[in-house]
Amino acid sequence: MSSQSAQAISSLRDKIATSTRILVRERLIGPFGHPSARIPGTDWVAVLGHTHDDVKDLSETEPGDVVVMDLDGDVVEGSMDAPGERYMHTEIYRARPDVGAVIHAHPMHCIAFSMTDVPLAPVWHLCTLFADGVPVYDSAVQIDNPERGQAVAAALADRKGILLKGHGLTVVGSSIEEATVSAVNLERSARLQIMAQGLGAVEAIDRAELTDDLLTDGLTLEEYTHTQWDYWAMETAR
């Protein structure tokens, strides 16, 4: 392994540990759920390890809890197994070269939408990255083999996220920071949409107000990602 690859892995371990703490604080993951990131220039993926046997408090996740696996799901570096649903990550990376990070989580408001025919809509200005729609994978099974991972990747297609019926969500991004922020914002937007539906008809943000990147006009991807990531990372480090 080159020193450059070793440095990239070390950096991603830190970021995945931070991502995990953020997702726990936002109640997107608990005993189940996991973030991962592609290691640049390799066919390897850094992912939160299978912490179930140790019953670890994920709000205290450290870089040592992150393992490195190949795209077959085999651990190549680390002291524990990869998560059981590792194939959701590996098959998305195979199908989507543009994806640099994957979040799989189980937030309640998004799961509620997965049970109905009501679509998640771009109703909140910090969740318009999903304006092209959020498809639903029509099964609640565990994605514990490559074939099921391939089916999720095919259903995701070129979108930013997908709901798994009665199960959870999977969100992708160009970086672990972007994917984490987007997953949190999708759950917050789902909660807002449910609240608003109790008041009356819900209106999505006009597509004409969005940039080519599907952000609200005036907001850059750098601002969207790092303003929120930096703030939440600071809070979870206290």
Do 81 and 98 touch, CB atoms closer than 8 A?
no
In this structure, which amino acid lies at residue 70?
D
Contacts with 127 (C-beta within 8 Å, 6 or more apart), sequence order: 182, 185, 186, 188, 189
pLDDT band at 187 (very low <50, low <70, confident <90, very high): very high
Contacts with 192 (C-beta within 8 Å, 6 or more apart), sequence order: 123, 124
Does pLDDT of 235 surpass 80? yes
**Of the listed 60, 62, 85, 91, which one is catalytic?**
85
CA distance 185 to 101: 16
CATH number of the domain encompassing residue 136: 3.40.225.10
Q: Tell me what pLDDT residue 50 has.
A: 86
Does pLDDT of 5 surpass 90? no
CA distance 50 to 80: 6
Q: Tell me what pLDDT residue 54 has.
A: 64
pLDDT tens track for 75-115: 999 989 999 999 999 999 999 999 999 999 999 999 999 99
What is the dihedral sign for C-alpha 221, 238, 36, 40? positive
Share of the chain above pLDDT 70, in %: 96
pLDDT tens track for 140-158: 999 999 999 999 999 999 9
pLDDT tens track for 158-180: 999 999 999 999 999 999 999 99
Element (H, E) at 198: none
In this prediction, residues 51-70 reach a mean pLDDT of 85
For residue 186, give its domain range.
3-236
- How many domains would you assign to the chain? 1
Backbone φ, ψ for residue 136 (5° rounding): -120, 125
Active-site annotation holds for 147: no
Mean pLDDT across the chain = 94
Does pLDDT of 1 surpass 70? no
